[in-house]
Amino acid sequence: MNDNGARCPVVRDSFELSPEVSSHSQLTMTSGTVVVLCAEWCGVCREFKDPFEELARALPEWRLGWVDIEAHPATEDVELESLPSLIVTGPDGKVIFLGPVVPRPSTVDQLLRGLKNHSPLALSQADALWINAVLETIRDTHG
């Protein structure tokens, strides 16, 4: 909510990606990037969105984003086990986590703390392609 009590469409230090990526302020990133993969039809994802936006405010050292997998061209054909799922990269941009997550801010926070200084994952070529396309959109849009 903003100072007037209205719901903010985009929280500072987080962003949404869609086929038409809108520009937001430049974000600084020292720890890495966290992208929540979700779908508009997923009730669990919708319930997690507000708490995730609060988490974004609490973790300014991380770049946090929200991607609707059915609206983003890079994820149209991706099949995930469960929603929401996360992509987490380290400061070097290499993926250190890819998988489902319990949709609670405390769980995500605990996961991120545990992933600091983690080695990159060995990704299949197919996974590397779509993940890199999503992350490239983030880099192009947010520097």
Query: What whole-number percentage of the chain has pLDDT above 70?
Result: 75
Q: Which two tokens stand for residue 33?
A: 């990037």
**Span of 12-16, 105-109, 125-129 with lowest mean pLDDT:** 12-16
Residue 143, pLDDT score: 53
**pLDDT, tens digit, 9 for 90 and up, residues 91-109:** 888 899 999 999 999 999 8
Residues sharing a CB contact under 8 Å with residue 97, sequence separation 6 or more, in sequence order:
86, 87, 88, 111, 115, 118, 121
Cα dihedral sign, 78-46-6-33? negative
Query: What whole-number percentage of the chain has pLDDT above 90?
Result: 29
Residue 23, pLDDT score: 28
Average pLDDT score over the chain: 76
Residue 19, pLDDT score: 34
